[in-house]
Amino acid sequence: MPRLYHRGVLFLQSILLFSSTYCQNLMANTDNCCILDERFGEYCPTTCGVSDFLNTYYTDVDTDLQYFEGLLNQIKNETTTTTVIVTDMQLLGTKPQTSPQGIKDPTQKSRTMLDEITRYERTVTDNERIIQELQDMLNTNTQKIVQLKQKISVLESQCQQPCKDTVQIQEYTGKDCQEIANKGARTSGLYYIKPLKAKQQFLVYCEIEPSGSAWTVFQRRLDGSVDFNKNWVQYKEGFGYLSPTDTTEFWLGNEKIHLVSTQSTIPYVLRIELEDWSGHKSTADYSTFRLGSEKDNYRLTYAYFLGGDAGDAFDGFDFGDDPSDKFYTSHNGMQFSTYDKDNDRYDGNCAEQDGSGWWMNRCHAGHLNGKYYTDGTYSEADSPTGYDNGIMWSTWRSRWYSMKKVSMKIIPLNRYGDGGQQFSKDAKVNFQRRGDY
Ligand SMILES: [Ca+2]
């Protein structure tokens, strides 16, 4: 519609012209102008003025806007970085605490577990050792059971034989075994003898040699079956068992030994027989053996050592402990002692310490009533008091060696050596010179 365009253009031009004319002449103040900025000048800006103003400052504003845009981008980047940091911190904040206490507990638990494991390992080792010991014990017991079964079978076979309920005692009698042999007895075994001063006869084992020489045996050790730790009365009366085959252990009794050994002017020879655990044998013979009366506490005396491979332990022995060893371990002239009757030369009680009755000095070099130690060798640890308490004869074997078999027996001097014994002609001559016959 052309008319309208034309009329409108004219109208707009009129307004702009009017306004321009009007504003150019109107001083700007707070009452008549809405924009007060000195950069518009001192007059109210016209449309063109605004346009000019905008054109004038547009470049600066654009620069400022770009600057602000740059700052915004920088802030945005830093914000993003900060957000990431904050997120990380939040994540860290939600993780489990790793405080020292938090570390300590697992460490402690770990140590405890290690301790437990170590303890279990020790327990396992200990148990294995115990099992091994029990296994060894089981093996030993099994062997013992086998041995016992063998012994039982042997005993059963013996039991099938008719039992002998009586002991065969030979009919000959005399004042000692030699007199019995002099009457014709030639069988070793049990006989009744009655020494001159004895009030009644008593049983002894007589060892009679084919030559007719006869020993009266008063002590026998052979298997440890009899305890020789006895009191005074028991040693006086005798203990153990006499057997016709001489296969039992016994002590005849001090009173009986006294009665036999002192009954005649003919002296007796004492023979000590030893056997070690290897089967080696030896003897020690003493002339003019006598046992005193009970009043003299059955004192041991002899004239001298006749000889024998076992050596003269009754004369004492130098053990190397002290220069006085030999003097204080000799036996000739010593009284008999038991744990309940101390007649020794020691401040203490030798018989009590060594568990025997013997002619104790301080204390001994020969000790044939000592404790029976199987296999011979023993030690301080085996002895209840730590002293050498075995069946010892120190001139033949160490004091820490205990004999397997021992016997003590006497024979009148005039029959000594007749059976091919270790009696030398010189010794016999000596006796004759001393008037012992
Ligand atoms: Ca004493």
pLDDT, tens digit (0-9, with 9 covering 90-100), for 18-29: 444 444 445 666
Q: How far is CA 38 from the centre of its chain?
A: 116
Spacing, Cα 360 to ligand 1 middle (Å): 9
Spacing, Cα 358 to ligand 1 middle (Å): 13
Taking the C-alpha atoms of residue 2 and residue 309, their distance in angstroms, rounded to an integer, is: 173
Taking the C-alpha atoms of residue 89 and residue 13, their distance in angstroms, rounded to an integer, is: 67
Predicted pLDDT of residue 427: 47
Predicted pLDDT of residue 43: 67
Spacing, Cα 74 to ligand 1 middle (Å): 115
Taking the C-alpha atoms of residue 412 and residue 288, their distance in angstroms, rounded to an integer, is: 9
The strand pair at 250-251 and 405-412 is best described as unpaired
Predicted pLDDT of residue 250: 98
Query: Cα angle at 170 between 166 and 174, to 5 degrees?
Result: 135
Q: What is the dihedral of CA 105, 111, 114, 119, to 10 degrees?
A: -110
Taking the C-alpha atoms of residue 267 and residue 207, their distance in angstroms, rounded to an integer, is: 18
Q: How far is CA 50 from the centre of its chain?
A: 118
Q: Which amino acid is at 166?
A: T
Spacing, Cα 383 to ligand 1 middle (Å): 19
User: Which residues lie below 8 Å from residue 282, measured CB to CB, with a gap of 6+?
Assistant: 273, 274, 308, 309, 310, 396
Spacing, Cα 72 to ligand 1 middle (Å): 119
Low-confidence ranges of the chain (pLDDT < 50): 1-25, 420-437
Residue 296 CB neighbours (<10 A): 13
Taking the C-alpha atoms of residue 189 and residue 205, their distance in angstroms, rounded to an integer, is: 5
Predicted pLDDT of residue 389: 96
Q: Are 211 and 408 in contact (CB under 8 A)?
A: no
Quote the tokens at residue 311: 């050596």
Taking the C-alpha atoms of residue 155 and residue 162, their distance in angstroms, rounded to an integer, is: 13
Spacing, Cα 321 to ligand 1 middle (Å): 20
Is residue 136 within a helix (H) or strand (E), and if so which, with residue range? Answer: helix 100-159
The residues whose Cβ lies within 5 A of ligand 1, an ion, are 342, 344, 346
Predicted pLDDT of residue 354: 96
Spacing, Cα 348 to ligand 1 middle (Å): 4
Q: What is the dihedral of CA 54, 57, 58, 61, to 10 degrees?
A: -130
Predicted pLDDT of residue 15: 40
pTM: 0.61
